[in-house]
Structure 1
Amino acid sequence: MRDTPRFGIMTAPMQVGYDDIARVWREADAIPEIGHAWLFDHLMPIGGDPGGPIFEGWTLLSALAAQTRRLRLGLLVTSNRFRPPAMLAKIATTVDIVSGGRLDFGIGAGSRPSHPLAKREYDAHGLPFHDAAQAVESLAEACTIIRRLWTEFEPFDVDDTHVQLTGAFGNPKPVQLPHPPILIGGRSSAVLRVAAEHAGLWNIPGGDIDDAIRRSTLLDRYCGEIGRDPASIVRSIHLPVSYDQPDATRVAIAEAIDAGFSHIVLGLPSPYPADVARWVADELIRTSA
């Protein structure tokens, strides 16, 4: 039986004001058809004016968590390159508590080296930018460490290849038990192997549904190799929204649902029209249900 689709929105926190994003999230929080809301995790714009405004994702997410009551929320997805895993576990725990247990913990290996507008943010903030292999290895280590900090009640040490910790301990713990759901985003085979081991949800950007299907099938295979039921990982897809051509978005939604993607994230471009969350529910979600 095919899972009932769950719809959400994504508001990229760049080239837009805080009040505008907060308005959209408050509107969406009052609309039952919209079940989740997302930000992204960049430190400098990756579209539009390279010198335009952009907000730090986790700080903004905590503020929006305090202004909403129902929506599940998260970052699509956190760059594991930006923050040490023990600190990230603490940040995520704080947001889960502020939200009353509504966090979906999105994480990925970080920006592709081939994306110059993404890579420049590392140089600008004094952050190292290692090769893709190290980024994926670090992601796997981080997922294990973060889960341990969320669930273990005694301090522990870590001596991994990329992370070393002494007396690591997390207190308080997240509201959600045993821990917030982990969403891993990415399409490379290496990231899919990490998702097979750690993810409760897996997300891929839309645009090429045939490629998304191939990647989902590959994830199935990796799950089988480690003895995990592939159906235990929810398939999530991010689809861009066109206000002027909603039919194109409706077609993309239908294709994604037919392909087994039941967690649909609708990316809303700014500027946001008045009552945009209601428009999404009326024009996209209800016509696709």
Structure 2
Amino acid sequence: MTTYPIRIGVQLQPQHADYAQIRDAVRRAEDLGVDVVFNWDHFFPLYGEADGKHFECWTMLGALAEQTSRVEIGALVTCNSYRNPELLADMARTVDHISDGRLILGIGSGWFKRDYDEYGYDFGTAGSRLDDLGAALPRIEARLAQLNPAPTRDIPVLIGGGGERKTLRHVAQHADIWHTFVSGDELRHKVEVLHGHCAAVGRDPSEIEISASVNGDEPPQPQVAGEELRALGATLFTFSAGGPDFDIERVGPWLAWRDEVNAG
């Protein structure tokens, strides 16, 4: 049975900020001791001024790979619809090398209609986008196996979302990490569903790390909220921070809790 240490992530939302402010936030996150720095894969802000400042995801990941030396990096999450699967595999392999093996390939089916409409992608339906994701994942895996040079490691695949019929089946078949936005009884139920999909495909569910979002202006105390999520199997806890200020110092109590639990 695989066991995972407690890890703390920060999603730096690349909106409403100049790039210098994003660069500074990444530096602060690594200096604080955060384990993973995520961005997201959109073309416009998701909240605040709809036409506010915004930057592209994967170009930024290449820069973060050069800027940082310790933290893992990735998108929470890449939209499968925006790039050919073979191209995405090659991009991931390249950032993997630039970062000396610190990339997490976060991916999902996509949902933000404005991105699709303004950049000329077919929005389809939630079901068709999930089917497209299911078709893309084996292509990504196959291309990663063919590239020269090969990735520096088996790049961890993170799948975000909670759809019980399709998303969690994709997680069981392809993911190393499952990212969820739910907690409590809802998370308990979805973990049971995921275990059912794992049994159907012959996968040990302990091979899949559970990542959970921990949001709010005043994050809950880790000794309560963290332990509750941990009891349900979560070990990676991710906070979001938006520009221009990128308030990440609030994760301090969670970093201390991580160190205490891991020293355990």
TM-score norm. by structure 1 comes to 0.83
1:61-112 superposed Cα distances (whole Å, 9 cap, x missing partner):
111111000001100110001111011111111111111110010011111x
1:268 to 241, 252, 262: 241
| SS of equivalent to 1:38 | strand
Question: Does the aligned pair in 1 maintain the 2:41–2:77 contact within 8 Å?
Answer: yes
Q: Does 1:200 align with 2:180?
A: no
State how far apart, in whole Å, the 1-side matches of 2:188 and 2:17 are.
Answer: 33
Distance change (3 Å), C-alpha of 1:278 and 1:131: closer
Deviation at 1:196, TM superposition (A): 0.3
AA aligned to 1:175 is T
AA aligned to 2:128 is Q
Q: What's 1:156 paired with?
A: none
Q: What's 1:184 paired with?
A: 159
State how far apart, in whole Å, the 2-side matches of 1:203 and 1:82 are.
Answer: 20
Q: What's 2:65 paired with?
A: 65
Deviation at 1:210, TM superposition (A): 2.3
State how far apart, in whole Å, the 2-side matches of 1:60 and 1:211 are.
Answer: 34
Question: Does the aligned pair in 1 maintain the 2:219–2:250 contact within 8 Å?
Answer: no
1:260-285 superposed Cα distances (whole Å, 9 cap, x missing partner):
10111121243436xx555523x332
AA aligned to 1:131 is T
State how far apart, in whole Å, the 2-side matches of 1:204 and 1:67 are.
Answer: 28
Distance change (3 Å), C-alpha of 1:22 and 1:133: same
2:125 to 131, 142, 154: 131
| SS of equivalent to 1:187 | coil
Q: What's 2:5 paired with?
A: 4
Count matched residues.
257
Deviation at 1:248, TM superposition (A): 5.8
Higher relative contact order (CA 8 A, sep 6+): 2
State how far apart, in whole Å, the 2-side matches of 1:133 and 1:220 are.
Answer: 22
State how far apart, in whole Å, the 2-side matches of 1:70 and 1:187 are.
Answer: 30
Q: What's 1:159 paired with?
A: none
Q: What's 2:24 paired with?
A: 23
Q: Does 1:90 align with 2:94?
A: no
Deviation at 1:250, TM superposition (A): 6.3
Q: How does 1:92-111 map to 2 (within 5 A)?
A: 92-111=92-111
Percent identity over the alignment is: 33
Any unmatched runs of 5+ in structure 1? 112-117, 153-169
Q: Does 1:240 align with 2:215?
A: yes
Q: What's 2:201 paired with?
A: 226
Question: Does the aligned pair in 2 maintain the 1:240–1:249 contact within 8 Å?
Answer: no
State how far apart, in whole Å, the 2-side matches of 1:10 and 1:205 are.
Answer: 13
| SS of equivalent to 2:82 | coil
AA aligned to 2:232 is A
State how far apart, in whole Å, the 1-side matches of 2:190 and 2:131 are.
Answer: 20
Deviation at 1:246, TM superposition (A): 3.8
State how far apart, in whole Å, the 1-side matches of 2:125 and 2:119 are.
Answer: 18
1:122 to 112, 116, 125: 116
Question: Does the aligned pair in 2 maintain the 1:240–1:268 contact within 8 Å?
Answer: no
Distance change (3 Å), C-alpha of 1:93 and 1:122: same
Q: How does 1:66-81 map to 2 (within 5 A)?
A: 66-81=66-81
TM-score norm. by structure 2 comes to 0.90
2:231 to 254, 258, 283: 258
State how far apart, in whole Å, the 1-side matches of 2:36 and 2:100 are.
Answer: 14
Q: Does 1:174 align with 2:147?
A: no
AA aligned to 1:280 is V
Distance change (3 Å), C-alpha of 1:271 and 1:253: farther
Distance change (3 Å), C-alpha of 1:247 and 1:137: closer
Distance change (3 Å), C-alpha of 1:256 and 1:272: farther
Larger CA deviation: 127-136 vs 51-60: 127-136
AA aligned to 2:198 is C
User: What CA RMSD, in Å, does the superposition of the two structures yield over aligned residues?
Assistant: 2.0
State how far apart, in whole Å, the 2-side matches of 1:193 and 1:246 are.
Answer: 31
State how far apart, in whole Å, the 1-side matches of 2:80 and 2:64 are.
Answer: 22
Larger CA deviation: 3-12 vs 250-259: 250-259
